[in-house]
Structure 1
Amino acid sequence: MTHALVCLPFAGGGAGFYRAWKDLPDHAPRIVPLQLPGREERFIDEPFHDVLEAADALAPQIAGLAGDGPVALFGHSLGAVLAYELARRLEHDPNVALSHLFVSGSPGPWTGRTRRATGLPDSEFVARVQEFAGYEHDALADPDMRELLLPILRADVEMHENYKPVSDEPLRTGITSLRATGDRLVTREQAEEWRSATTGAFRLVEPDGGHMYLIDSPLPLIDAVAAALPS
């Protein structure tokens, strides 16, 4: 049975990023984007400001979205810690057959950021976020779009920068950590920290590219998923 890969967005992103992945290879899992409040079709909903509260609210949705088969989780940057906290909850959900956690562009969950963007004035905030991401989001260059996007982006960044795990108990679920070779935000050693977050299998995958390597192609993730999950 084909795995469902439930995908969590990075800061400021939405489910549309993953919905745009078309013509994937035969070995790809079934992509199941998880939409967060405050963006796209949920634009009028209040965004989350706390990772733990977000995971509590999102976990009950997974069974209905993913169906009856095996489920893996994926998240990039902010999405990585959201996926990790979801995995912690889903390990205790008898309605979800959680098989693997894929985290990308993220230090281990116990490593907080030393440089922060939360609380900066708008122009400095945008510059700092773009510095973190290693790319410039076209929509933030448009004044009208920036006005719409900034509240969501600020909420996401606040959620990420204030995140602290409630437990240091490792997961049972295996973890694959992806970190692009040109990532200037996350070091190889930080990506390796996820090894301590599980008693199951661990693998580090290093695709080419920068921190936002997924913008160029989803194939590094698809290949990593195929390598980790039974066909």
Structure 2
Amino acid sequence: MESATLVCLPFAGSGASFFKKWQAVAPPGLRVVAPQLPGREERLDDEPHITVEAAVSEASGWLLPRIADTSRVALFGHSLGAVLAYELAYRLSGQVPVVGLFVSGSAGPWSVRQDRASGLDDEGFLVAVRRLAGYRHPAMDHPEMLEMLLPMLRADVEMHENHRPQARPPLGIPVTAVRGDRDDLVTAAECGQWGDATTGPFDSVELAGGHMYLTEPTGERALLRLIENRLDARAAAC
């Protein structure tokens, strides 16, 4: 495969380290890059963003000098990360060669979540996040760590729940939407809404697992193979 860079955006509560291990299992020629947003991991003391616009602006500024010489750039995000990747695709358009958008575990970007966690007290918030994310962050079992991470997690959830995309023309790049075949949070129909986000090729794919299928080694490998196959096929078609 011709070399390409896969830019990965975090789901709520996660950081760049989640994607760093992907490089070890990524196919040859695929470079994995993940911007570190504030409020997490080594940037724990930095104020987290509460809007998608601010997060995307910082991510693009960090990315551009690192991908300026890349011949092909693809974007990936899961849940909140899918929204960030979608918005980043617009931000990078015309500056770098974006050849694909891979969105996972997310309804179309204009959908509005009716069941919200923002504004709840800490106990209610964590219960709601567990229900809405289908995932229990390891920090939830460690009170001291949870206290440190809670502001970032609240900011991520607020960012996701309050975001409303701008009215603008669809993207013109290939989009692949992915969900776990046992995802009880995002339906196949909701995943298919991403077809309206582009005038380019679109496909919707199910991989084995639940909403957080990508946190399992088998899901991780299956996802990277899918991305590799789609990028290979698109490069061959050019």
Classify the TM-score, shorter chain.
over 0.9
AA paired with 1:166?
Answer: Q
Give the fraction of aligned pairs with identical amino acids, expressed as a percent.
Answer: 48
Instruction: Check the 8 A contact 2:4/2:31 in 1, yes or no.
Output: yes
Distance of aligned partners of 1:167 and 1:57 in 2 relative to their CA distance in 1, 3 Å threshold: farther
1:127 partner amino acid:
V
**In the aligned structure 2, how far is the partner of 1:205 from the partner of 1:168?**
26
Q: Report the Cα offset of residue 138 of structure 1.
A: 2.0
Instruction: Determine which structure has the larger helix proportion and give its number.
Output: 2
Matched, 1:84 2:75: no
Which shifted more, 62-71 or 210-219?
A: 62-71
TM-score, scaled relative to structure 1: 0.94
Partner residue, 2:142: 142
Number of equivalenced pairs:
229
Q: What is the match of residue 222 of structure 1?
A: 224
* Residues 224 and 2 of structure 1, relative CA distance in 2, 3 Å threshold: same
Q: Which amino acid in structure 2 is aligned with residue 129 of structure 1?
A: V
TM-score by length of 2: 0.92
In 1, are the aligned partners of 2:76 and 2:101 still within 8 Å (CA)?
yes
- In the alignment, the residues of structure 2 paired with residue 89 and residue 33 of structure 1 have an alpha-carbon distance, to the nearest angstrom, of 16
Structure 1 segments, 4+ long, off by >4 Å, are: none
- Residue 92 of structure 1 deviates from its aligned partner by 2.9
Name the SS of the counterpart of 2:181 in structure 1. coil
The alpha-carbon deviation at position 56 of structure 1 amounts to 2.3
Equivalent residue number for residue 59 of structure 2: 58
Per the alignment, residue 16 of structure 2 pairs with: 15
Q: Does 1:109 align with 2:109?
A: yes
**In the alignment, which residue of structure 2 is the partner of 1:71?**
73
The answer to whether the 8 Å contact 2:173/2:198 transfers is yes
The answer for unaligned runs of 5 or more in structure 2 is none
Whole-Å Cα distance in 1 between the matches of residues 21 and 140 of structure 2? 20
**Residue deviations 1:33-86, cap 9 Å, x none?**
111111111112111100122222322322222341211110000000000000
